[in-house]
Structure 1
Amino acid sequence: MAKRLVILGGGESGVGTAILGKKKGYDVFVSDFGKIKDNYKEVLALNKLPWEEEQHTESLILNADVVMKSPGIPDKSPIVKKLMEKGVPVISEIEFAQQFIEVDTIGITGSNGKTTTTMLTHHLVKQGGLNFGLAGNIGKSFAWQIAENKHEGYVLELSSFQLDGIVDYRPHIAVITNISPDHLDRYEYKYENYIAAKFRITMNQTENDYLVYDADDEIISKWLGEHKIKAKKIPFSLTKELNEGIYLKNNTIISNITNEEFTMPINELSLEGKHNVKNAMAATAVAQLMRIRKDTIRESLSNFQGVEHRLEKVLKIQNVQYINDSKATNTNATFFALDSMAAPTVWIVGGVDKGNDYDELMPLVREKVKAIVALGVDNEKIKKAFESVVDVLVETTSMTEAVKIAQKLAEKGDTVLLSPACASFDLFENYEDRGKQFKNAVQNL
């Protein structure tokens, strides 16, 4: 009898897993407690895969041999609890899919910078002539790409939720960009649980694998000091010279991790900002470990186009620069954004707060922000934090209105920055939808 694979969640990772599962001979069923988008329903129908939406039918789910849970579904959800009680393995798409490949993966995680680092790394390995897929938290699902079997390796962006659901997954090169409090609502508000989730990326690595990490990050250094890992450590740093690693000296990136020393002046990087120097260091480490030529690495770092919704310059109108940083869904990401502002800033902030502590932003807000537009259903916490710090704070629940207010508040030479520091689900479908609405509103000014 075929093994029964039940998939919770009919989104990108769910549908991809369903296609791979069917191809590998599983008896597949997809169940989504919400609505499944039409384009995914078409794919499911085309592949003759059974599905249900707006319910979880227990008789069709609890008989599973293995369950793939989409990253958006918390462990606390009733159906997941019942499966756990029955002892049914509940895994992530990454774990399910990895058993069907023999090729290497590069796994990248971190609270911030992981999308940019993942896309930059993928750009470097592709420019270096390697046919690697790009998947994980981004693009076409890992499982789907494995079902199509066109790649000689994969660069994966991995969230803590995806790492929660791994058992045997082992990246050949793992990257941890940084760790700061995020998604604590999913980790019983215990920071140490979230930190442990991130470090699952290295738990199955062997002496032949690598862990690339930010040596300036206190949380990472502390954890590595207290736990033994097998992988070879490759640190990068902006502040200290490393005997073996990647560091900054005289505004030049220097890497001595392989026999070939690599150097690149940071003013030649296509991305601006200190945090992007770190992202470039992480990507360079991977590219060198993958034996990509130095000239190719240098060229790729200088022509990389950046990520949509991440400090994306939209338009200049009446000498006011509008910047879309909708992808900043926590305070740490917004810290980087405010830190890189050179002009007085009208800051659009707000959404679903994930247990944010706004204290770390105070010095930057005092120094750079002239006015705040709070865009959210509930702005109380933001008001309480910043009312006394800025001269003007206006509340709204519409993006079009937020942009119009910002335009009124901005003068020539100012910047209007959308960097919400919060999730988007109170008013938008996701951060992409929020960013697109911002760009539309700016284009219609």
Structure 2
Amino acid sequence: MNVGERVLIYGLGRSGRGVARFLAREGLRAEWHDARPGVEDEALMAELGFVRGHVEESYRTVVAAPGVPIDHPDLLALAARGAEIIGEVALAARLRPQLPLVGVTGTAGKGGTTVLIAHLLRENGVRAREGGNIDPPLLDVVDEAEVAVAELSSFQLERVPGLRLPVAVITNLGVDHLDRHRTVEAYHAAKLNITAGQEAGDVLVIPAGLAVATRAQVRSFRPDRIALAGGHEVLCPADLPEGIHPANAAAAVLAAEALLTRLGRPVVPAVFAAGLRSARPVAGRFETVARVGNVRFIEDSIATRTLAVEAALTRAPAPIAWLVGGRDKGADLGPLREAARGRVQRVIAFGEDGEKLARGLGLPFETVTGADGDAVMAAAARAGLAALGGPGGTGTVLLAPIGTSFDLFRDYRARGESFRRAACALAAGEERA
């Protein structure tokens, strides 16, 4: 399907580079615009022969990066001149219409569920690849996959006109990104775009108790029962590997089953059970990265949403030294105060809004300051270990920061890697609490 004679890639970075590589493989030409292109971005554009575009001109199609707000003045002006504004997901669907695409969204758990669905499909003999909001970009995997499983953020789902998914998953709906969407209703509306194009033959997997208007067949999951659609229990939640959340597993089983059925493949419960037992958590999502005696260090750097942080607080072994900080994005702290009660011994505040967040939680805290991210994280890890009694203590030093990473780090991955290095250094005895 033609995307238009003039294409503009608006916003580079990880997503925009994926779009550029894909268009080049298709033999399509494009121009690009980015207010602050990185060295890697400009080098790739030059290599592909893509020239810098001009937002004052007219384009048929604009492929916008997820981080660009839908109401950005440039995008509004381009649309007024006749451009259709889409994202990488819509581009993939249009140019690879025969590729089955499983979409996964939610306020928390969408990354872990995405990876788990792809893993279960591979265990069932399907050449599945994951991508999208999770690495790699979706357009980097569509030509290698028999089935693509895409983690879809609310930002991506704002620009998916006409997208129809044979299988879609909503892990949960909470509160997030109010700095972008402004209201909970607008945020939820973006998330629900995942099912807007579905028809009666498609499947929507949602948590039990969540009501969603959809034309698709609804299959509900519960974290206390990991079962196929007919009710056959696949695995007891207690038998899941460490770091695999039961809700993610329950949703992934239903989604993988629906896709296998659509492909005409057999559904064998024993294969699903073996796949769950061999699953591994996604790096940066509630992962034990080091131990010092009876103190474990758990990294959940991506936990910036209330639901995700609440889940981390509930799952981490108490007592907890909780590392909180980064840039505040308006998370609801009320449920976190309740989840922390009787479990959190001390909050270690760091970064731009760490102290503000700690005060809002109403828990005992201390503040670590500094301008260097690695030095701040090392100090926070030491303080967390000390709060639990040092190497002879017990409990969990938990990085579930609430705030975004952009005050001290490039992204949540860089923040998580910094915590991992600090924890491993303590475990190796290279630093002393």
**Fold equivalence (TM over 0.5):** yes
Asked if the contact 2:100/2:147 (under 8 Å) is kept, the reply is yes
Deviation per CA, 1:100-143, whole angstroms, max 9, x where unpaired? 11121110000100000000001000111111221111222222
Distance in 2 (CA, whole Å) between partners of 1:152 and 1:236 is: 26
Deviates more, 1:27-36 or 1:118-127: 27-36
Confirm or deny that 1:96 pairs with 2:91: yes
Deviation per CA, 1:157-195, whole angstroms, max 9, x where unpaired? 1011111001111111000000111001111x2111111
The partner residue of 2:20 within 15, 18, 40 is: 18
Give the letter for the 1:236 counterpart. F
Number of the residue aligned with 2:239: 268
Structure 1 SS opposite 2:341: helix
Asked if the contact 2:174/2:306 (under 8 Å) is kept, the reply is no
Q: 1:272 to 1:354 in 2, by over 3 A?
A: same
Number of the residue aligned with 2:220: 235
The CA deviation at 1:352 is 1.4
Give the letter for the 2:247 counterpart. K
Confirm or deny that 1:317 pairs with 2:314: no
Asked if the contact 1:125/1:292 (under 8 Å) is kept, the reply is no
The CA deviation at 1:85 is 2.8
Number of the residue aligned with 2:156: 162
Give the letter for the 1:71 counterpart. P
Distance in 1 (CA, whole Å) between partners of 2:243 and 2:284 is: 15
Confirm or deny that 1:64 pairs with 2:59: yes
Asked if the contact 2:317/2:395 (under 8 Å) is kept, the reply is no
Give the letter for the 1:214 counterpart. P
Distance in 2 (CA, whole Å) between partners of 1:69 and 1:283 is: 29
Distance in 1 (CA, whole Å) between partners of 2:278 and 2:414 is: 27
The CA deviation at 1:42 is 4.2
Number of the residue aligned with 2:51: 50
Aligned length: 409
> Taking structure 1 as the reference length, what is the TM-score of the superposition?
0.87
Distance in 2 (CA, whole Å) between partners of 1:435 and 1:331 is: 18
Distance in 1 (CA, whole Å) between partners of 2:257 and 2:332 is: 37
Confirm or deny that 1:396 pairs with 2:396: no
The CA deviation at 1:82 is 1.7
Asked if the contact 1:345/1:416 (under 8 Å) is kept, the reply is yes
The CA deviation at 1:384 is 2.8
Number of the residue aligned with 2:431: none
- RMSD of the TM alignment (CA)? 2.0
Distance in 2 (CA, whole Å) between partners of 1:133 and 1:328 is: 24
Asked if the contact 1:17/1:97 (under 8 Å) is kept, the reply is no
Distance in 2 (CA, whole Å) between partners of 1:197 and 1:162 is: 9
Distance in 2 (CA, whole Å) between partners of 1:85 and 1:178 is: 35
Moved over 6 A (4+): none
Confirm or deny that 1:206 pairs with 2:203: no
Identify unmatched segments of 5+ residues in structure 2: 261-265, 371-375, 427-433
Distance in 1 (CA, whole Å) between partners of 2:45 and 2:128 is: 26
Distance in 2 (CA, whole Å) between partners of 1:58 and 1:200 is: 27
The CA deviation at 1:375 is 1.2
Distance in 2 (CA, whole Å) between partners of 1:306 and 1:254 is: 20
Distance in 2 (CA, whole Å) between partners of 1:110 and 1:20 is: 27
Identify unmatched segments of 5+ residues in structure 1: 239-247
Number of the residue aligned with 2:398: 417
Give the letter for the 2:241 counterpart. S
